[in-house]
Amino acid sequence: MTKSNKLTEIFEGLEDLRVNRTKKHPFISIISIGFLGALSGIDNFVGLQDYAEANEEWLKQIILLPNGVPSHDTIGRVFSMINVKKFHDCFFNFTSLLKDKTGGIISIDGKTMIPKNRENPLHVVSAWSEENKLVLGQVRVDNKSNEITAIPEILDLLDIENHIITIDAMGCQKDIASKIISKNGEYLLALKGNQKSLHEDVKVYFDDNEFLSKCSYWEEFDKGHGRIEKRQCWATSNISWLKKQHNWIGLRSIAIVKSERTLKNKKTFDTRFYITSLPDEAERICAAARDHWGIENKLHWTLDVVFNEDKCQIRKDSAPEVMGIMRKWALNVLNKTKGSISLRRAMNKCCMSKKYICSVLQAI
């Protein structure tokens, strides 16, 4: 990152909404401090000021600081005024440069960034590319029930041709399935009681051992961290009877995935049903169902535990959403540059080593 750099180019269309008399510190410099801080695990505005003050001489070599380091109040005020849509557009355009694999799984799911027991919870729906280990985009919703309307919005943002879109039961809607097919994607939708009659018909089918024996079948095992998991998948495209009662565009197969987990001699069981536009290839469907959990384990869990998102105290105006995007931005960059080391270690190295953070910036 230099004083005329890639980050500056990416943020070129982002408007500084401050009045002229308050523009003591360059807008892009404040955004850059936020980005560098996110890479280093800084999760609040006071921390960003402290980080910038501790690295002021180095920062002056790569960004403009004509009046020294901005205060945490200034940083917070700037972040609270940012146009979130335009900021997300910058993030989206940047992420498209990092994406180097096509096809594969894109998982869509929602997360509450500010816990529900606090005032004004912020809920967003995100898209996660398992193959690229990237957050592709996000859309804000007012609450959990509105995910149904937010999912089509995020699909509109994405190029999903030749991708498999996986969504939990909340997104198992005819309009969503239709949109995925219209954009030349495939879908794997979890099926629960919100589609009551369809769910019951699929469940009854797989409860019959005679039908089950005629299905495509796949079985696999995972071991790690003291846990053993066995997964079994049955899938069939013999569903002309189902299509007569349930008109879903693109529907080709139905599937059931059963999981048995053993941890410290304790076993738990889980059964999930799916509808899909994929052919009845049990191995492929099982893999897609498994990879969907990447959005929980590699995105949502990471944001809460590694980036401390669930404890974030930022509340004002656009700032919570902007900081949420900034964390995902940092996650994307670190996933593309950290190699075999852990994410936490990469963030620590960014915080402690100017050489390392410069290598990260040069690689993007």
Query: Which range, of 66-70, 103-107, 291-295, 310-314, averages the lowest pLDDT?
Result: 310-314
| b/e 4-19 (16+ beta carbons within 10 angstroms → b) | eeebbebbeebebebe
In angstroms, the CA 364 to CA 64 distance is 21
Query: Do residues 233 and 290 lie in contact, with contact meaning Cβ atoms separated by under 8 Å?
Result: no
Please, what's the largest Cα pairwise distance for the chain?
77
Q: Give pLDDT, residue 137.
A: 93
Q: Give pLDDT, residue 118.
A: 61
pLDDT tens digits for 198-245?
999 999 999 998 888 899 999 999 877 677 889 999 999 999 999 999
- Single out the residue of 288, 265, 263, 264 nearest to residue 276, CA to CA: 288
Residues 6+ apart with CB under 8 A from 32: 1, 7, 62, 63
Number of residues written out for the chain: 364
- Name the pLDDT band for 4 (thresholds 50, 70, 90): very low
- Name the pLDDT band for 65 (thresholds 50, 70, 90): very high
Neighbours of 145 (CB within 10 A): 10
- Name the pLDDT band for 6 (thresholds 50, 70, 90): low
- Percent of the chain whose predicted confidence (pLDDT) is above 90: 68
Across the range 147-160, mean pLDDT stands at: 92
In angstroms, the CA 37 to CA 47 distance is 8
Q: Domain segments of the chain: what residues?
A: 6-90+328-363, 174-287
- The yes-or-no verdict on residue 360 having pLDDT over 80 is yes
Predicted model pTM: 0.89
pLDDT tens digits for 263-306?
888 889 999 999 999 999 999 999 999 999 999 999 999 999 99
Residue with more model confidence, 101 or 328: 328
- Percent of the chain whose predicted confidence (pLDDT) is above 70: 94
pLDDT tens digits for 20-37?
887 899 999 999 999 999
Place of tokens 């890639």: 6
Across the range 56-63, mean pLDDT stands at: 92
Q: Give pLDDT, residue 1.
A: 46
pLDDT tens digits for 116-153?
556 667 888 999 999 999 999 999 887 555 788 899 99
- The yes-or-no verdict on residue 5 having pLDDT over 80 is no
- The yes-or-no verdict on residue 18 having pLDDT over 80 is yes
Query: For all residues of the chain together, what is the average pLDDT?
Result: 90
Give the tokens for residue 108.
């869509």
In angstroms, the CA 48 to CA 78 distance is 13
Q: Give pLDDT, residue 2.
A: 45
